[in-house]
């Protein structure tokens, strides 16, 4: 399949995890890519990997919570490819130190909101005019089951993801006239924790998390990045999801069903 031949995709948080898995899938299906991440070393490695399989890939190293990074990424898409068809807002953090709300310092609250929510606003604001100029397209945002169901001691993360869901619906309503669809995914337990959290967790803690997922998830396991990436590609594809907009697709092995 080559669903994304002649399509240009901008993805944030693309140097590792779900972002990189999705970038690989887009690249294999013919897309040209602009990838954004704060980790320059990993982002450069991702660029080399995807170019080796024949993809056209440009990168922007920067903080997604700043308007300049969003503007630079969209300008690069326009300069390099002359269009933009898909925006995948995936960058996020979930610090271990951001726990119960009253135990979360104001500066940390602001940081999580800036990276998880404000970045989506900034990239949508920068990208939507170019997507509209390109004839329409798709916005896919990474939310979370934490935005639907409160998780213990992850208050600000859940707040940010609930807001991403509502932001997605607002984009869908306001920009349908521009032939732009907007949807979000709500993953549950995945094969590893987010990059910032992994740095503060031991291997033993990850094993315990995996066991907990087996107990809580009806399918009895964590999800794989590639499984979620396929859902992102489905929502990005005009051929397959042309009548889906404003949706929050839950990808959690049944976790929120119980």
Query: Which residues form the catalytic set?
Result: 157
Residues 6+ apart with CB under 8 A from 99: 153, 154, 155
- Please work out, in degrees rounded to the nearest 5, the angle formed at the alpha carbon of residue 242 by the alpha carbons of 245 and 167: 20
Q: How far is CA 224 from the centre of its chain?
A: 15
Maximum C-alpha span of the chain: 50
- Please work out, in degrees rounded to the nearest 5, the angle formed at the alpha carbon of residue 65 by the alpha carbons of 62 and 71: 65
Q: State the CB neighbour count (10 A cutoff) for residue 132.
A: 16
Q: How, if at all, do strands 32-37 and 57-61 pair?
A: parallel
Alpha carbon distance 140, 145 (integer Å): 16
Sequence-ordered strand ranges (E) for the chain: 8-12, 32-37, 57-61, 86-89, 137-142, 180-187, 248-251
């Amino acid at each position: 399949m080559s669903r994304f031949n002649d399509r240009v995709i901008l993805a944030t948080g693309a140097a590792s995890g779900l972002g990189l898995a999705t970038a690989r899938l887009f690249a294999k299906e013919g897309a040209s890519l602009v990838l954004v991440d704060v980790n320059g070393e990993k982002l450069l490695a991702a660029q080399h990997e995807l170019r080796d399989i024949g993809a056209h890939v440009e990168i922007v190293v920067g903080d997604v919570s700043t308007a300049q990074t969003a503007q630079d990424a969209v300008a690069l898409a326009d300069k390099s490819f002359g269009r933009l068809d898909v925006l995948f807002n995936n960058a996020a953090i979930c610090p271990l130190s951001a726990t119960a709300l009253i135990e979360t310092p104001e500066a940390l609250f602001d940081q999580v909101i800036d990276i998880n929510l404000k970045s989506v606003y900034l990239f949508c604001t920068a990208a939507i005019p170019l997507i509209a100029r390109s004839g329409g397209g798709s916005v896919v945002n990474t939310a979370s089951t934490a935005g639907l169901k409160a998780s213990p001691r992850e208050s600000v993360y859940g707040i940010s993801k609930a807001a991403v869901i509502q932001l997605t619906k607002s984009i869908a309503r306001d920009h349908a006239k521009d032939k732009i669809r907007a949807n979000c995914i709500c993953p549950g337990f995945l094969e590893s924790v987010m990059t910032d959290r992994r740095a503060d967790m031991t291997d033993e803690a990850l094993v315990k998390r995996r066991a907990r997922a087996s107990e809580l998830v009806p399918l009895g396991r964590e999800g794989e990045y590639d499984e979620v990436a396929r859902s992102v590609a489905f929502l990005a594809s005009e051929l397959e999801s042309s009548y889906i907009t404003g949706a929050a697709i839950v990808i959690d092995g049944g976790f929120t069903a119980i």
